[in-house]
A and B are shown apart, each in its own frame.
Chain A
Amino acid sequence: MTTRIYRPDGVIGQPPLELAATPSSLAGMRIGVLDNGKPNAALVMTRLARSLATRVDAEVSLVTKKGPQGRSANAAIPCAPDVFERVVAESDVVITGTADCGSCTAYSVHDAIELEKVGKPAIVVTTTQFAPIAETMAQHFGLPATRRLVLPHPIGGTAPDVLERWADEAVDRALTLLRP
């Protein structure tokens, strides 16, 4: 004799989403960097963008913080609407992050998905220690395939030359994430 009990989790209310299409070639593409202000985020993502641009003959078109007018950044809320519009207008692909804490991972993944929704392929830069959180957030927000580039941990507090090496070593993986 069995008994029935209720599940406690409720149905999922967010619709499933798809990645934006990526171009067949990245040559001439404009790469934007959307910085959430985490320590060393701009440094490591700008280096990654430049190394990627050099490799594929693209350009780094924009590096901006995600707060209003790009003047500040708060990693625990969505990208400011004016900055989002500018990133969409001035970039063909976007690198965003860094997703190396909890709320900043949630919102970096959120920002990347918002960019994918308007047709801009977006890579979230995360770390080994926060990759599981990033994966969970991507699933929860309806786009499990969100492009996630995993760097060593931590980004904050690591020396600039080490961060630059990590960025350079990640270029191949970034290219894989942007493959059509």
Chain B
Amino acid sequence: METDVEQLLEVADTSPETLQAVLEEHGWGDGLPVVPPTEDRVERMLAAVPDDPDEELGLLLPRGGVVTPRVAAVNAVLAGCPPAVFPVVVAAARALARPELNLRGVNATTHPVAPLLIVHGEIVRHAGFNAGVGAFGPGNRANATVGRALRMLLLHVAGAVPGRGDASSQGQPAKYSYCVAENVDESPWESYAFTQGVTTPSAVTIHCGEGPHNVHDMESAGDPALILDKIASAMTSLGMNNAPISQGEFFLALGPEHAHSLAGAGLGRSDIASYLFDHARIRAGELRRHFEERAWATWMKIVDDDHMLPMTGHPDNIRIFVVGGPGKHSAVIPSWGMTESVTVPVVEKDDAR
């Protein structure tokens, strides 16, 4: 039964069974058990950020729900977030509303796109995110619950409910939770956020793409080209939206061992991106045969059919960050296409660190 207070619901009790029934009655939830968003839990969450609880952070499409820190906190509680991670959820909510991310399309499409959240900087350590072994999951509360909180916002505020505001034909396991932390301690390079001009102590990036495509290479010690050729191979597919949409980005999640092999050979991020731009290619005629409409950069439209076209329109669209632990695995994360990644500062309270 709804109370006279607009944002509150009166429930018989806060048992898992009652909560699940309330969610189902309203068409809410991700199908998993939740933590009850009681007033005291929401207040504790809000105490972790300096923001006005009712400030409008943005409008989340397609539903057009207004996300505020309070609404974000409710969803963070439902998802099981500890308050220390909440500044990342608020930053991610701001990022989701940015127009270049095209959330209306990201949520509505039949494609299995999910926003990947990459956490950078000091908050990785002090809020307990996992940037190392098994960073994509499972087993770490910060990664798991922040990714889930983001999905809760998409379901509840953006209306990305399967079959209604989310038409994804098959769905995607990454739509439950999709959050990692950049392993800057094991990276040969500066934080990815710095490359995007975001130099605050902590930041978050959102890239709307597919699930990670694994690249396993344990043979090529001393020959970085062999690692990169395998990565280029994983990037080269007619089934990816990057093939017909040249603005689409690729995020390359390099494992630390691959990153050090490449850096040890003198390669920087731009060298790697250039190599992959040059090697991840498909014949123009084959692309034309498969795609009636091609959202290509103009220069790509005028080449002859035998020309080998790159899987993205510019090397800058190949974005590189380091994540994971020991072993010889990296991952390619293709784009949905008509979306641009966004990197924003994470704003914490002064005494948080």
Interface set of A (CB-CB < 8 Å, partner B): 2-14, 37-39, 72-77, 101-103, 105-107, 110, 130, 132-133, 136-137, 140-142
Contact = CB atoms under 8 A, between A and B. Distances in A.
Contact of B75 (A4, A8, A77): A8
Nearest to B339: A76
Contacts of B68: 10
A2 B12 CA distance: 5
Given A7-B7, A8-B75, A9-B65, A136 B165 contact: yes
Chain B residues touching A, range: 35 or more
Contacts of B215: none
B13 A140 contact: no
B62 A140 contact: yes
Interface string B51-63: 0000010011111
B108 A133 contact: yes
A39 B65 CA distance: 32
B167 to A, nearest CB: 3
A36 B21 CA distance: 41
Contact of B9 (A5, A73, A76, A106): A5
B71 interface: yes
Given A101-B110, A140-B64, A6 B338 contact: no
A142 B56 CA distance: 19
A5 B293 contact: no
List 6 tightest A-B contacts by C-beta distance, closest first: A102-B167, A106-B108, A14-B64, A103-B109, A103-B105, A76-B338
A140 B56 CA distance: 18
A13 B59 contact: yes
A132 B111 CA distance: 17
Given A74-B295, A77-B338, A140-B63, A9 B28 contact: yes
A152 to B, nearest CB: 18
Contacts of A110: 104
A8 B28 contact: yes
Contacts of B61: 140
Contacts of A142: 64
Nearest to A78: B104
B152 interface: yes
B66 interface: yes
A74 B293 contact: yes
A76 B38 contact: no
Given A7-B7, A103-B108, 18 more contacts: A3-B11, A3-B13, A4-B5, A4-B38, A5-B8, A7-B6, A7-B9, A8-B28, A8-B75, A10-B157, A37-B292, A73-B293, A74-B293, A76-B105, A102-B167, A136-B62, A137-B62, A140-B61
Nearest to A4: B8
B95 to A, nearest CB: 17
Contacts of A9: 26, 28, 65, 71, 156-157
Contacts of A12: 63-66
Contacts of B26: 7, 9
A10 B9 contact: no
9 contacts: A3-B10, A7-B74, A8-B37, A10-B157, A102-B110, A103-B105, A106-B107, A110-B104, A132-B164
B227 interface: no
Nearest to A14: B64
A106 B66 contact: no
Interface in B27-69: 28, 36-39, 42, 56, 59-68
Interface string B148-168: 000010001101000111111
Contacts of A8: 28, 37, 71, 74-75, 78, 152, 156-157
A8 B151 CA distance: 12
A102 B36 contact: no
Contacts of B165: 133, 136-137, 140
A8 B150 CA distance: 12
Contacts of B39: 4, 6
A7 B8 contact: yes
A37 B338 contact: no
Residue from the set A7, A12, A103, A106 with the largest chain B CB neighbour count within 10 Å: A103
